[in-house]
Structure formats: C-alpha cells, structure tokens
Chain A
Amino acid sequence: MSDIKTGAETLITALVEQGVEVIFGYPGGAVLPIYDALFQQNSIRHILVRHEQAAVHAAEGYARSTGKVGCVLVTSGPGATNAVTGLTDALMDSIPIVCLTGQVPTHLIGQDAFQEADTTGITRACTKHNYLVKQVNDVSGVVHEAFLVAATGRPGPVVIDLPKDVLMNKTDVYKKKSDVRRPSYKPRMKGDLAQIEKAVEALSQAKRPIIYAGGGVINAGPAASQLLVEFTRMTGVPITNTLMGLGAYPASDRQFVGMLGMHGTYEANLAMYNCDVMLNIGARFDDRITGKIDEFSPNSTKIHVDIDPSSINKNVLVDLPIVGDAAHVLEDMIRLWRSKALNLDAGALKGWWEQIEQWRGVDCLGFSQAKGEVEIRPQHALKRLHELTKHRDDVLISTEVGQHQMWAAQYIGFEKPNRWMTSGGLGTMGYGFPAAIGMQIGNPGACCIDVAGEASILMNIQELSTAVQYRLPVKIMIINNQWMGMVRQWQELLHGGRYAESYTDSLPDFVKLAESFGAKGIRATKESELDSAIQEMLDSDVMTIFDCCVTKDENCFPMIPSGKPHYDMLLPGASQEKVAAAIQGEGLALV
C-alpha cells in the first residue's frame, strides 16, 4: 500500500527514517511547505535560530559532539547565502551536515525570481556534494543518498535544494534507505594490508618515532580514539594531536607531548622536526602544522593514514601512504604489531624520551600570574577553568577564533574525543556560540561552554535569543581583552606595531547585554574574583555570559611565525632580536 504524500511530507518521512531528531532552521516563503509538514508531526524537533549561519554552526556542534549527522533547514535566496559560511566551515573541518535549502518553483528557476539564488552553483565549492531536486518522485532517494554521502568516507556538508513546487506536488513514490544505491560513490574504509604491514615495520625500526593524530581519528568514532590509545601505549611512542584532534588521546597521559603547530608546544614541534619515523593518522599536513614546508621534518620516513586519497601527497610527499578509515587501519596495526611481536629498540626510545623531557623542561606554556597581581592573565583564566572542570566528565568546549581559541587549546586538557569543538580549517569567528547551542541540544545534561573573544562573540550574539527560548544553560566565557587580540599580536610582531582597526571601540556591557535577552551576566575584573565567577558560571542553570576581563596586550606563545621552520619558535618572553627576525622574510606574505 502506498500513501500519497506531498514532497514536504515525503521529505519528513525520509528524515525520520534517517533518525533525524532535530533540525536547526529558519523559515521563509520557499520552505513554508516543509514548515507546514513539520508543524503536523512530533518526531522531529525544530530549533529556531536567529541567523542561518548559526543554524549550520549549531548543526556542526551537534554533529561533532554526538557523532550524528547535523540537519539544517533554510529558505531560498538569502537563507541559502547566509548558510554558505557554515557550509564552508563544515567542509574544511569534515563535519557531516545535510542542509535543506528552499528554492523558487521549477518554472521560475533562472528568471531572477524573488529570493532566487543559484544555490547549487554557489555551494558547489563549499559542499561535499549537492542536489537540485527537480521531481517530487526523487525526494526520498535524494535524502537518503545525501545522508550517505555526508556521513561516510571523509564526512562533509551536503546541500539539497528543494523547489517549492517539488515540495507541494504529490507522490506515492517512497524509496527506503536500504533501496538507495550510488555505485559511483565508494569510499575506501580498509587500508591496504601490505602497506600497513610496511608501516608497522618501519615504525618498529625507528629510533625517534612520533605519532601525529588529527581530526580524522575523531571522525572515525570513539572506537578509533580507543584504538589510538591502545596502539600508542603498546608501542611507547610519543604522541601529539592537531587542533582538530585534541581529545583523541588523553591530554594528561605521559606519552602526550601536547598540541603541535603554529601555537603548539615546543616539545611537540621539536619532536616532529627531529623524528626519524612519523606516523600521521587522520591529519592533513596543514600549513599551520608544517610551518616552512621544505624544512618540515626533513629526516623522517613519513607514514600517512587518511580516508581521503586527495589529502595524501598534497602538501608533503610521504613515503608510505595508506588510504583508509583511522579505526580500521589502527585495528590492523595493533593486530600486526602483536602477531609480529614487534618492539622498538628500548635503548633508543629511552634516549628519545630523555630528549623530549628536556624540551618539555623549557615549559613553553609558562606564563606569570604573579602572586597578588590584580589583573587576570588570559592564560590563567583558562587554566583555572581547566582546574575547576577537570574532575568532571560532562564538559564540552567550543571556541570562537583568535588568541582565546589557542589558549583554550593549550590550557584545557581533553581526555576524550568529541569534547572539543573549534573552527580549525576555516577559522570562523562566530562559530563557537551557535556550536555550543548545538552541543547543548545534543547533550542536554552536559556543561557546554563557548570560550569566546569579545570581538568574535559579536558575530553571532543574536543567538542569545535562541538559547533563552529553548532554556539552554549554555555558558559563554568571554576572554575580554578589548582587542582583536590575534590581529593585534600579528600587527605587533609583523607590522611594526601599527594597530590598524584591531581595537574594538564601543563594546557593549556584556552583563547588561545578557540580561536584556533574559540571560544571566557575570563579570570579573580582578584575579581575586576569578574562581568564584567561573564557579558561578558553571553552577548556572540558565544561559550565562561570563565577561572575564583580562590583561589587554598579552601575546599567544609559543608561536612559529608563518613561513618559519619548527625550530624557529618564539617562546614566551622571546628576545627582541628573535621577534625582529620573525618580521623579515617572505613569511610576511603568508597568512
């Protein structure tokens, strides 16, 4: 027996079959049939955001913290174009999103109709794939295919553009999830066994090995992180995580040498530079990681595990490529390491660790919050946040973009995956707050904190209204230095201290701002108030902004200036000559 349904109703049926529980969206003329269908059902909850960009970021936060596909619904024209930044963000960070966009009726497409935009054209470069559905009979099949594409292989955003007449026309065609096939789409999950065998053997011969793990491990699911821990422990090899990979390996573990890259630790970056075998799992040799490319880890054998073949040999030529899912490959590595009874040269490994401990001794994340000092140092604020939350297992952190983001990555330790949500690839200011809303929707009991800058938070501040409407106890901790700190830092180090437009005048009173939305506002300006203010924020069961006023001109160290090799790090309190050296050279032209 087949039902006759509208395209919109068919769409909802397909979403329910996909297990969608929540959609982040914003209505408009072209999607009214979908809103009408949503209104008449109870399976899917709709969260009304206040800007479509925020809908996508919220879906990202939801997806990253739950491991499910995030779902977005926006109208045609401006609704779709507003979503573009979010889609690009999801593409860069490989986050599974299905974004439904309304479109003008098929007979008006191409006529410059009201609120028409070439959505599939515009989003072609910022999605993993997109669809324009021209017939109501295709709706269910396209939805199932879109979820398959979004969630499998290297995950990413998928857009389904739905003309209004397609949503209103009737059909009795319904393709089930299990009926959908796309022969041309075939992500590789299992890695080539011969390559994996070579890889473990190469690792076992190493004298100075390192494991470098990224967001691919998080995307491969919590099991992949467990396997990573197992493999790292059984080999005794030091491990570093990328910004995207934080939490894939427990930060408190002795074998963890911290985050690597531009603002990574001295020990992680020097271990990368000096290693003889590098095992990269699910990271992509981003320019923020490699620094000067021709001096990147010059003497190592490089093994690269990635689910996306186009990530391999893109920036850095590797010796042993393995295309496959991180969990599958790690499983094979563990099995082979055991069955071949492989071992590293204990003496060499001991020497390597001694060297690493020496680098660790530099204490590259040291900062001075002198006793009795009144002002709050931003690093200290985040360290205190970490101290006051580390005993808990329910804390999820997102960030905006800037210095506060790097300090959060440096001073908050993550013991498990899916606890840390930051815009790594695109570096989108305005990401963190809506992402935290999505995290809270997906994890109702959790403590969801957006570590923000006072400039970034203004980019999606309207979402206070969303959080209050749905009674979400999201916390925003603004590391308020009154500057676009990261911009100011680059201007100080690279542009002779000419601070063009990086100071934000006329900032709002964030406490009153929160209150005007019906949220709670807290402020601390003195170190003596810090702990109680953090605690008050943590204990709050309503939407809360904590305006943490910090020293204004702190710089984020360590730092590898753009275009510099790993050994050329600026450490806290770097000498004037070192800073001056960073100013010169072609690095100035890099971002």
Chain B
Amino acid sequence: MSETRTFAVLVDNEPGVLARVIGLFSGRGYNIESLTVTEVDDDANLSRITIVTDGTTQVLAQIRNLLERLVPVHRVEDLTAAAEGRNMEPPVQRELALVKVVGAGDKRVEALRIADIFKAEVVDTGLGHFVFEIKGRKSQIDRFITLMMPLGLTEICRSGVIAVSRGDQAL
C-alpha cells in the first residue's frame, strides 16, 4: 500500500547537496512528487528542503534513513507521520502557482470570475491575457488549473510544496 508523505530536510547549504538528495531518489527509482529548496538560515548556512514523495511504508522508511545518512544532512522530519503521531491535522502545506490564460470574450470573463472565487490575483494583464497568481493547498491549485484549462490556459509554473508542522513544536 502506497502513501504520500511530506519530508522536511535541514541541510548544510553547500554545492552538490541537492544533487545528493535527488541522486538518492533517482538512483533507486523512488518517486519525487514535489521538491523545493532555499536557504533558511544565512548565519548557520542552512537550507530547508521540502520533499513530497510516495511509497510503501518500507520505502518511506528507507528514504528517511538514506537522507539521514548523507553527510550534509542535519535533520529529516517526516511531517506527515509526525502529525499522525501527535494526533494532529496534516502539516500546513502551501504552494504558489503562476497561470497564464489567453483569450477573449466570454471565456475571459469566466476566467476572471473563477479567479475571484479562488482568490487568485491578477499580476499581469493585457487585452488578450491574464497572469494569475494563486496560492494554497496543492489540491486547490490542481482544481484551479483544471477549471482554467478550457478557458485558454497556456502556461503553468508551480513553486512546489512547502510545509511546516502544526502546533507550537518546531523542527
């Protein structure tokens, strides 16, 4: 039985660290659904990687152990499992997307109306196009994109998922 998990990984921000993480997945045929990385602590030179992946319990445990084994990795937290363990809601997850919709007439009006419902912001526009910025849960963005599809959607760029646990405990 396959399940989806979100891992938070704290690493030294040094060249090659992302390649090590990705190589670990690709070399073993594990799936990466989403991966984001940026420096989060300038002084300590730490980056935080958020990985959404799926696999069997055994594979997920293996992913965690293999990540922990990498020399520049400080901590690996399975946010999904930790939340379950504390009997809490799943971690807070957000994603940002930029969506370009090209069209005129009714379709254009309809696109704007849907964007309004989703609280998507218009960040660029001309007479024949919109660029919407939408943020939210992954599933929300998926739905927005599905609805925009017949209305002239021409380009999508998504940031990938970032996540933190709920409650007062920190990583």
Contacts and interface: CB of A to CB of B under 8 A. Distances in A.
A27 interface: no
B58 A184 contact: no
B171 interface: no
Interface stretch (A165-173, A310-318, A530-538, A556-564): A310-318
Nearest to A323: B65
Nearest to B26: A125
B61 A313 contact: yes
A132 B66 contact: no
**A contact residues, range:** 20 to 34
A61 B19 CA distance: 31
B23 A313 contact: no
Contacts of B159: none
B68 A185 contact: no
A50 B30 CA distance: 39
Interface of B is mostly: helix
Contacts of A508: none
Interface in A279-325: 308-310, 312-314, 317
The CB with the most chain A CB atoms within 10 A, among B15, B19, B58, B69, is that of: B69
A385 B94 CA distance: 68
Nearest to A148: B71
A124 B23 contact: yes
A148 to B, nearest CB: 10
Interface in A179-202: 182-185
A310 B65 contact: yes
B19 A313 contact: no
A121 interface: yes
Contacts of B19: 121, 124
Given A313-B62, A314-B62, A317-B58, A132 B15 contact: yes
B71 A184 contact: yes
Contacts of B73: 184
Interface in B54-107: 58, 61-62, 65-66, 68-74
Interface in A116-153: 120-121, 124-125, 128-130, 132, 149
Contacts of A121: 19
B20 interface: yes
Contact of A125 (B11, B16, B27, B72): B27
Interface in B7-24: 11-12, 15-16, 19-20, 23
B53 to A, nearest CB: 15
Nearest to A124: B23
A130 B16 CA distance: 9
Nearest to B61: A313
A182 B14 CA distance: 13
A320 B69 CA distance: 20
Interface of A: 120-121, 124-125, 128-130, 132, 149, 182-185, 308-310, 312-314, 317
Given A184-B12, A184-B73, A184-B74, 5 more contacts: A124-B19, A132-B15, A310-B62, A310-B69, A313-B62
